[in-house]
Amino acid sequence: MMLTEQNILFIGLGNMGFPMAGHLANAGFNVKVFNRSPAKVANWLANFKGIATSSHVDLVENCNFVVLCVGKDDDVRELLTDDNGIISRLAPNTIIIDHSTTSTELATDMAKAAELHNCFYVDAPVSGGQQGAINGQLSLMVGCDDVVFERVKAVTAPYTKAIVHMGPVGSGQKTKMVNQICVAGLIEALAEGLFFAERAGLDTQKVMDVVSQGAASSWQLVNRHKTMIAGEYEHGFAVDLMQKDLAICLQEASELKIELPATRAVSGFYADLQADQLGHCDTSALLLRLQKRKSAG
């Protein structure tokens, strides 16, 4: 059987999942979709070829792959192993590819549950943001058995620019934690740099133009400084989601008995934004936090 003749159940049509599932449909896969919000399902079906029903349980028959792109540990457990979960209903050798960012404990638990039913669970968190999902240019960090990695690589190819097998289940989530630790520090540094330039009376755009050509450059600087200068914070990954991820990072660090002082500090800064009812803003709102506190002082 050709790979594109196989059936995929894609669960989670948010900012990331919507275009990812679309890339699979455009690549010729037989795609079934489920989302708790019927409006998102209807919108997806208006743009791509596929099928849907009101219950994810109704869609598992004849699926070769189940792809998840949801919010947190509890969402994954509910979908896979709770009373209305689907793992027990899957055919043997079905591969579950979980793009959610979760704890390693969740990944390990789901892998054990899948193994009991002769299926495979793969933790494959992504990096690249909403724009990367739209462009089909995501990076995947994968934890799974060696025997399924090549199949995972092939089926995710329509929305992937890079994919690396990091090791056994759980390794993908640990790698994503490294990603989030690094990103959080970069965004705070960029926010502080912009804030300093602003208060020093510099032309912030000229500052960014010159420092982006040197060692201070980063993806965050190149792609976010203009919107930060403009005070626009509705682009991509939300503060609430980053806080969830950083909590996972800090919990894992505690279990490893190590300190992450910068990560803990940035998590506190995001908590300030949440306290100001700004959890819906994107993660670059760390600059807004500095500006608000200066104004309040």
Same fold, 3-167 and 174-296: no
Multiple choice CATH, 174-296, 1.10.10.10, 2.30.110.10, 3.30.1360.120, 1.10.1040.10: 1.10.1040.10
Alpha carbon distance 142, 259 (integer Å): 25
Cβ(102)–Cβ(12) below 8 Å: no
What is the pLDDT at residue 180?
Answer: 96
Q: SS3 letters for 216-278?
A: CCCHHHHHHHHHHHCCCCCCCCEHHHHHHHHHHHHHHHHHHCCCCHHHHHHHHHHHHHHHCCC
Name residues whose C-beta falls within 8 Å of residue 91's C-beta, 6 or more positions apart in sequence: 62, 63
Domain residue ranges in the chain: 3-167, 174-296
Alpha carbon distance 104, 170 (integer Å): 5
Q: Which residues are marked as active site?
A: 176
Multiple choice CATH, 3-167, 3.40.50.720, 1.10.630.10, 3.40.190.80, 3.40.50.2000: 3.40.50.720
What is the pLDDT at residue 3?
Answer: 62
What is the pLDDT at residue 46?
Answer: 97
- Kindly state the average pLDDT of the residues 234-255: 94
What is the pLDDT at residue 297?
Answer: 52
- Token representation of residue 217: 């450059």
What is the pLDDT at residue 2?
Answer: 56
Report the first-to-last Cα separation within the chain, whole angstroms: 66
Alpha carbon distance 108, 64 (integer Å): 21
Cβ burial, residue 230 (10 Å; 0-12/13-18/19+): exposed
Alpha carbon distance 194, 144 (integer Å): 41
The predicted-structure confidence for 64-91, as pLDDT tens digits, reads as follows 999 999 989 999 999 999 988 999 999 9
Indicate if the pLDDT at residue 199 is higher than 90.
Answer: yes
Handedness of CA 42, 43, 46, 48 (dihedral sign): negative
What is the pLDDT at residue 61?
Answer: 82
